[in-house]
Chain A
Amino acid sequence: MSDSESREVDLIKDPGLPAHVHRRTDTDPVAAKRAERQVAILFSLSALGTLLLIYSFIFVSDETFIFIPVMGSTNAQQLGIGLGMAIALFCIGAGAIHWAKTLMPDEEIVVQRHEFRSDDEDRADFVKTVKEGAENAGLGRRPLIKRTLGAALGLSGLTPLLLLRDLGPLPGDDLKKTNWKAGTRLVTDPGDRPIRPEDLEIGAVAQTQPEFPEGKVRHLEDIAKDAVLLIRMRPEEFNLDSERLSWTYEGIIAFSKICSHMGCAVALYEQTTKHLLCPCHQSTFDVTRAAKVIFGPAARALPQLAITVDAEGYLVAQAPFTEPVGPSFWGRLS
């Protein structure tokens, strides 16, 4: 303690609040008058801003476009309303602050802080009050009430959980199924036209969906699972095992378009490298090696859809997907 006290004595002294320096507006009535005028001009500019807003709102057609450097072709009505509003608001603010800074008192005031801590006496009293209150209620003496109340409150907490149960159905095996079945035709998206192998040139990519029977509507939930990319390349470019090779047809290979990482559409195909890239997190898949992950955060290859042609020569699925498509989830493999 004595050490810190001696240091305390040795400290450089607080010279106290610096003397107040008057502003020009405090001492020079001309300067004060000028400041007053400046504030008034700012407020008047604000009024002009509102007039611009009103004019643009009523008299400028919403089909008028004007060319403004940097911004390009701009809707004159929106611009007029916006600029009018900006001027109106900004100038009110600028005027008020200029007023405060030049004409309102600028002498600093010193006030004392109070300690937040209550007196020991008050604190003791508080504890006593709480204790007495609890005793008067008899919580300690009547355990039966305490226990049943606890049980009742705890149980009633289940109500909201129960009522929220119907927010959605249980997933079941919904996440593991798609609309692809053995023999389902691949149709173009958009267009819903069945595809023949000869429709695709080497290097071509097509987005497809499973063909739906007449009358069945394709919802976004279906697209979110069913989207499939068709890519055609020279068969000798494949680097696949015999099973996966048998899932292709004349150099046409099909993958789920839903990223195995977080479910974005894997939409970027680079023809020279034969890589598929997901634009969300840049997971990169090598098409020649069954969409194996070669870069990025995805942990799994894109599921491959086995395809062939049907009797009429249209591309169809040989079988459903052999694994769930899209992002991982806890029970994915079970």
Chain B
Amino acid sequence: MTARERVAGNVAGYVDDRTGGAKWMKKNLQKVFPDHWSFLLGEICLYSFVILLLSGTFLTFWFDPSMREVVYDGVYEPLQGVKMSAAYASALEISFEVRGGLLMRQIHHWAALIFMVGIVVHLMRVFFTGAFRKPREFNWIIGIGLLTLGIVEGFLGYSLPDDLLSGTGIRIAEAIIQAIPVVGSYLSYFAFGGAFPGLAFIPRIYIVHVLILPAIFLALITVHLMLVWYQKHTQFPGPGRTEKNVVGYPLMPVYMAKAGGFFFIVFGVTAFLGAVASINPIWLYGPYNPGQVSAGSQPDWYMGWLDGLVRMAPPLETYLFGYTISWNILIPGLILPGIMFTGMALYPFIESWITGDKREHHLLDRPRNAPNRTAIGAMALTFTLVSLINGGNDIIATTFDLTINQMMWFSRIAIIVLPPIAFIVTKRLCLSLQRADRELVLHGRETGRLVRMPSGEFVEVHEPISPEKAWLLTSHEQLAPLELPEHDGAGVRRPAAIRNKIRNRISRAHAVAVPKATESERRELEGHH
């Protein structure tokens, strides 16, 4: 034993004597994780969150979250002598007078964008592969919570500098609060400490942005990771992989090096973006003034879809007994997002209700093998994408020489027409891909070699695919649809008849599939060739 090993052993022994942690550590250091590039998406979120904590802490040392009016006397000449809030002045100070300050601001903003992209793409991976199924429903809901809070946190974050663009965003948020029936104006006066904008909101959203929400994030992320750890990661289907095992590499040393290394890669890329790609140049916007606005006011991308929905809403207000209900704000600003996020959170339960499947799943689905789910996902994405496009309708219109009216009417029609089309096309595509898989298993791979038969006929030679590939293409389960009884034994309609009938019908639509190739079919065809 070398001296170094002896020291390490002593330290480990000292800790184990007091915690009994050796057994636990030994087990967990050998924890096996399956390998797939798409499993890195969640890691990107985690790492950009750490980057946000680090860069955000740096920014708090200089940022002054106060709406006290000051006259700017810093180094940025165009704004010298201009009255502004202390918050905006300190954000300018960070940008121009703190060494590395602008870099840190830009890293913080880029990391927030990457965080949100990471969450959305990670969510898409989990959705389209069915990773949310039992036993992982809790983690799905936590994920939806993190997405929602991420949107709020990001919005509050870019509102803090109190520049003209961010103040405009806050004004819109205030209008949404104010539109809530009965209590809207009260809530708005409580939130802003009186009339908009007042002096209260920057300090208030500051504490929410730097303490309350990060604390909730930290708690939710911890539970999210503990569940991943305890439930073990899902894996893609493949030879040797079953519902009962995990095939992959151990945490120590492979994943420590890979995951640890990946943290530095994400941080490095974010730092590179912060160094070379200017983002949110607040000094160009000037301080907030409710009587002014900059043309082309755009929220960050993860709020863009919401703004797009608001932009395309029809001008609808109801006056009922002298009270005003602003449907043009309530529907796009609160009701639709509420339906979208609730639907997303409930999806695992809806799908299990449709299929009647209450078993655990650890093998992921290939999206084509769950055509209905994939189509629902494509439909939701199309809806969001049309909204997002409309959120930038002014920029798109000026860039492509269109009118705002054309853009708006395109979006108003597309938001209703395109999602169902996306559903149908995606479902058909999935089934075609299933058919292609079946062909591949039964008839093999096209080799491109043409052979002339003695009879003069030309045929293309097909080569059987490997047993591994054949297994991959056929290992998925094809669940039969539910057949719940509408009548009881005596032929009398059950009380739940209608519900069962609807459920059967949805279940049939969900279970539609091209029958996968079987061994006997394959053997039969092999005899043919």
Is the pair A113, B172 in contact by a Cβ cutoff of 8 Å?
A: no
Does A67 count as interface, using CB distance less than 8 angstroms?
no
Choice from A16, A83, A171 contacting B188 with Cβ under 8 Å = A171
Q: Could you say which of A85, A94, A326 has the most chain B C-beta atoms within 10 Å of its C-beta?
A: A85
Interface residues of A in 174-196 (CB under 8 A from B): 174-175, 189
Interface residues of B in 309-346 (CB under 8 A from A): 310-317, 319, 322-326, 328-329, 332
Does A106 count as interface, using CB distance less than 8 angstroms?
yes
Is the pair B264, A96 in contact by a Cβ cutoff of 8 Å?
A: yes
Given contacts A11-B474, A97-B257, A330-B181, whether A299 and B248 have CB atoms under 8 Å apart is: no
Is the pair B195, A174 in contact by a Cβ cutoff of 8 Å?
A: yes
Is the pair B103, A82 in contact by a Cβ cutoff of 8 Å?
A: yes
A97 to B254, CA, bound (A): 9
Is the pair A224, B168 in contact by a Cβ cutoff of 8 Å?
A: no
Given contacts A79-B276, A110-B247, A330-B323, whether A221 and B293 have CB atoms under 8 Å apart is: no
Question: Which residues of chain B are near A127, meaning CB under 8 Å?
Answer: none
Does A281 count as interface, using CB distance less than 8 angstroms?
yes
Question: Which residues of chain B are near A57, meaning CB under 8 Å?
Answer: 99-100
A16 to B190, CA, bound (A): 64
Given contacts A92-B264, A297-B315, whether A169 and B323 have CB atoms under 8 Å apart is: no
Is the pair B290, A329 in contact by a Cβ cutoff of 8 Å?
A: no
Question: Which residues of chain B are near A16, meaning CB under 8 Å?
Answer: 239-240
Choice from B102, B242, B274, B292 contacting A267 with Cβ under 8 Å = B292
Is the pair B191, A168 in contact by a Cβ cutoff of 8 Å?
A: yes
Is the pair A116, B182 in contact by a Cβ cutoff of 8 Å?
A: no
Is the pair A109, B404 in contact by a Cβ cutoff of 8 Å?
A: no
> From residue A21, how far is it (CB to closest CB) to chain B in Å?
13
Does B295 count as interface, using CB distance less than 8 angstroms?
yes
Question: Which residues of chain B are near A288, meaning CB under 8 Å?
Answer: none
Is the pair A333, B323 in contact by a Cβ cutoff of 8 Å?
A: yes
Which of A118-126, A147-155, A257-265 lies at the binding interface? A257-265
Interface size class of B (residues with CB under 8 A): 35 or more
Choice from B102, B200, B247, B258 contacting A168 with Cβ under 8 Å = B200
One digit per residue, 1 when the CB lies within 8 angstroms of any chain A CB and 0 when it does not, for chain B 442-476 equals: 00000000000000000000000001101100110
Is the pair A111, B323 in contact by a Cβ cutoff of 8 Å?
A: no
Is the pair B171, A263 in contact by a Cβ cutoff of 8 Å?
A: yes
Is the pair B293, A279 in contact by a Cβ cutoff of 8 Å?
A: yes
Q: Could you say which of B178, B192, B263 has the most chain A C-beta atoms within 10 Å of its C-beta?
A: B178
A328 to B245, CA, bound (A): 59
A329 to B246, CA, bound (A): 56
Is the pair A264, B293 in contact by a Cβ cutoff of 8 Å?
A: yes
> From residue A89, how far is it (CB to closest CB) to chain B in Å?
4
Choice from A78, A110, A257, A326 contacting B275 with Cβ under 8 Å = A78
Is the pair B245, A111 in contact by a Cβ cutoff of 8 Å?
A: yes
Given contacts A265-B293, A293-B315, A327-B175, whether A100 and B261 have CB atoms under 8 Å apart is: yes
Given contacts A170-B189, A333-B322, whether A93 and B240 have CB atoms under 8 Å apart is: no
One digit per residue, 1 when the CB lies within 8 angstroms of any chain B CB and 0 when it does not, for chain A 77-113 equals: 1110111011111111111110111001110111111
A333 to B276, CA, bound (A): 52
A227 to B103, CA, bound (A): 37
Choice from A7, A78, A95 contacting B100 with Cβ under 8 Å = A78
Is the pair B295, A267 in contact by a Cβ cutoff of 8 Å?
A: yes
Does B223 count as interface, using CB distance less than 8 angstroms?
no
Question: Which residues of chain B are near A291, meaning CB under 8 Å?
Answer: none
A/B pair count, beta carbons within 8 Å: 327
Is the pair A82, B272 in contact by a Cβ cutoff of 8 Å?
A: yes
Given contacts A87-B268, A111-B245, whether A296 and B311 have CB atoms under 8 Å apart is: yes
Which of B8-16, B488-496, B515-523 lies at the binding interface? B515-523
Question: Which residues of chain A are near B519, meaning CB under 8 Å?
Answer: 10-13
Interface residues of B in 170-215 (CB under 8 A from A): 171-172, 174-176, 178-186, 188-198, 200
Is the pair A14, B245 in contact by a Cβ cutoff of 8 Å?
A: no
Given contacts A12-B470, A87-B268, A168-B190, whether A329 and B324 have CB atoms under 8 Å apart is: yes
Is the pair B295, A15 in contact by a Cβ cutoff of 8 Å?
A: no
Question: Which residues of chain B are near A267, meaning CB under 8 Å?
Answer: 292-293, 295
A268 to B502, CA, bound (A): 53
Is the pair A327, B178 in contact by a Cβ cutoff of 8 Å?
A: yes
A299 to B319, CA, bound (A): 11
A128 to B103, CA, bound (A): 60
Chain B residues with a Cβ under 8 A of chain A: 32, 96-97, 99-100, 102-103, 106-107, 135, 168, 171-172, 174-176, 178-186, 188-198, 200, 231-232, 239-240, 242-250, 253-254, 257-258, 260-269, 271-272, 274-276, 288-297, 307, 310-317, 319, 322-326, 328-329, 332, 360, 362, 393-394, 404-405, 408, 441, 467-468, 470-471, 474-475, 517-520, 522
13 example contacts (A-B, Cβ-Cβ < 8 A) are as follows A10-B518, A11-B475, A12-B441, A12-B518, A14-B240, A93-B265, A110-B32, A110-B246, A115-B360, A224-B197, A263-B175, A297-B310, A330-B183
Known: A57-B100, A328-B179. 11 other contacts (CB 8 A): A14-B240, A62-B96, A86-B269, A93-B268, A100-B257, A167-B190, A224-B196, A225-B195, A327-B174, A330-B184, A330-B325
Chain A residues with a Cβ under 8 A of chain B: 7, 10-18, 57, 62, 71, 75, 77-79, 81-83, 85-97, 99-101, 104-106, 108-113, 115-116, 164, 167-171, 174-175, 189, 207, 209, 220-221, 223-225, 227, 257-258, 261-265, 267-268, 277-284, 293, 295-300, 326-334
